[in-house]
Amino acid sequence: MDKKRRNTKAKHLITSVLENSNSALCHEDIEKQIPEKMDRVTIYRVLQGFCDSGKVHKIISEDGKTYYALCHNCTEEKHQDNHPHFHCIACDTITCIEEPVAPQTLPHGYSAVVVASYISGYCQKCSSLMKTVLLFVLVFAGQNDF
Ligand SMILES: [Zn+2]
Ligand SMILES: [Zn+2]
Ligand SMILES: [Zn+2]
């Protein structure tokens, strides 16, 4: 296979991995989910190209790791991923919060260009799971009392 064809194939495979994921993926996640072996440099180049063309945006986690997620309305000239990113500390996933959130207020004299917050906590799945566990514990403790 020539280089150009191989590149097209790599782009296609990486796109489908990102499309099939509900959360942002780091380099290793992508590498693991690609159905065939692909070298790190190729993956890195494709991801970098996607970032340049407005197809994918980067998210830096609190431990400095880079995650990638698909963009929705971005162009080559301008990324507009001004949405918060949510890191679930229970299942260790990073998701894009696409619903609009209240804009940040800034002290007088500051003007925002990019607004992208990073929030850590429990995602919908994990917080409902915790509620179930808590309920179970409460019911169990209640039964023990009688
Ligand atoms: Zn973007
Ligand atoms: Zn979670
Ligand atoms: Zn995002």
Q: What is the mean pLDDT of residues 16-33?
A: 96
Which segment, 72-81, 85-94, 112-121, is predicted with the most confidence on average? 85-94
The per-residue pLDDT for 145 is: 55
Q: What is the mean pLDDT of residues 121-133?
A: 90
The per-residue pLDDT for 135 is: 82
In this structure, the strands spanning 25-26 and 93-96 are unpaired
- Cα(116) to centroid(ligand 2), Å: 20
What pTM did the predictor assign? 0.81
pLDDT at 71 over 80: yes
Distance of CA 106 to the CA centre of its chain: 26
Map out the domains of the chain with their CATH numbers: 3-145 (1.10.10.10)
Q: What is the mean pLDDT of residues 116-120?
A: 86
Strands of the 85-88 sheet, one edge to the other: 93-96, 85-88, 118-121
Distance CA 17, CA 51 (A): 16
The per-residue pLDDT for 1 is: 63
- Cα(81) to centroid(ligand 3), Å: 6
Neighbouring residues of the ion ligand 2, judged by CB less than 5 Å: 88, 90-91, 123, 126
Neighbouring residues of the ion ligand 1, judged by CB less than 5 Å: 57, 71, 74, 79, 81
Q: What is the mean pLDDT of residues 87-116?
A: 84
- Cα(20) to centroid(ligand 3), Å: 15
Do residues 61 and 67 make contact, with C-beta atoms less than 8 angstroms apart? yes
Which DSSP letter does residue 72 get?
S
Distance CA 19, CA 25 (A): 11
- Cα(86) to centroid(ligand 3), Å: 9
pLDDT at 92 over 70: yes
